[in-house]
Amino acid sequence: MINLFEKEMNKRKIGFVIGFVLLMWLIYLLGFFLKIDLGILGIYPRAINSLLGIITSPFIHGSFEHLIF
């Protein structure tokens, strides 16, 4: 039997996942409609400047199909 604390934690986990997905969609749509190349925030081999890409790369998608699948 799931207690009240576990139900609340499950709601938070689901909320986090939904929020993360919505943030990915928002960033993709902003880049698409504003014609911004967000690829500069990706990870590039042997480039110290791309260390920020470790954090930002999960939010960058190359196309609509890439975002869906």
Number of residues that this document lists for the chain:
69
Distance separating alpha carbons of residues 42 and 15, to the nearest angstrom:
26
63: how many CB neighbours lie within 10 A of its CB?
10
Question: Higher pLDDT residue, 7 or 19?
Answer: 19
pLDDT tens digits for range 15-44: 999 999 999 999 999 999 999 999 888 899
- Read off the pTM: 0.79
Express each pLDDT in 40-56 by its tens digit: 888 999 889 889 999 99
- CB-facing half-sphere around the CA of 50: CA atoms within 13 A: 11
Contacts of 28 (CB under 8 A, 6+ apart): 61, 64, 67
pLDDT > 70: percent of the chain: 97
